[in-house]
Amino acid sequence: MLEKKDELIHLIMDENVSAIQTIVEELSLSSDEVIELISKLLETGELKGTLAEDGQRFFKSDVKLSEAPSIERDDAPPSFMTFNTRPGRVTIIIGVIVFIGGVIVNAFAGDMVVQNFAALLMLIGLLITISGLYCISRRETPS
């Protein structure tokens, strides 16, 4: 059992294994035996950490920080992410304005000719709006 205890300490401290199931497979013990062994090592102070409530993981408390210096990164988005949507947005706004103009003309239309003109305005407004949406959707993707 002393050999299993040393191997358990090696797995947790040196190999950074935290899953109880992985430790069970490595030590060829049952999960109850591994949890009992971890509890004994915690009581004696050979291990420092906590067992998860569900008994599936062991989290050690003495995590070593990396000695490597942290490197400041300039998080500039990739070139394919920058896309000028202004022409498409302007086209959509113009199309919506033309469509609303057609609705207003249709609301106050007195005869059939004016209603036909209003319907034509609404159709043109929809076409302009759809072309603006198409312009926005044409963003180039990375190859």
Please indicate, yes or no, whether residues 95 and 131 belong to a single structural domain of this protein. Answer: yes
Average pLDDT estimate for 10-39: 84
Closest alpha carbon to 55 in 75, 70, 33, 71: 33
Domain enclosing residue 8, as ranges: 2-60
- How confident is the model at residue 64, as a pLDDT? 64
What pTM does this model have? Answer: 0.45
Please indicate, yes or no, whether residues 86 and 132 belong to a single structural domain of this protein. Answer: yes
- What is the number of domains present in the chain? 2
**142 in a domain, yes or no?**
no
Please indicate, yes or no, whether residues 50 and 86 belong to a single structural domain of this protein. Answer: no
**67 in a domain, yes or no?**
no
Q: What is the CATH number for 20?
A: 1.10.10.10
Please indicate, yes or no, whether residues 7 and 34 belong to a single structural domain of this protein. Answer: yes
pLDDT tens profile 52-76: 888 888 887 766 666 777 777 777 7
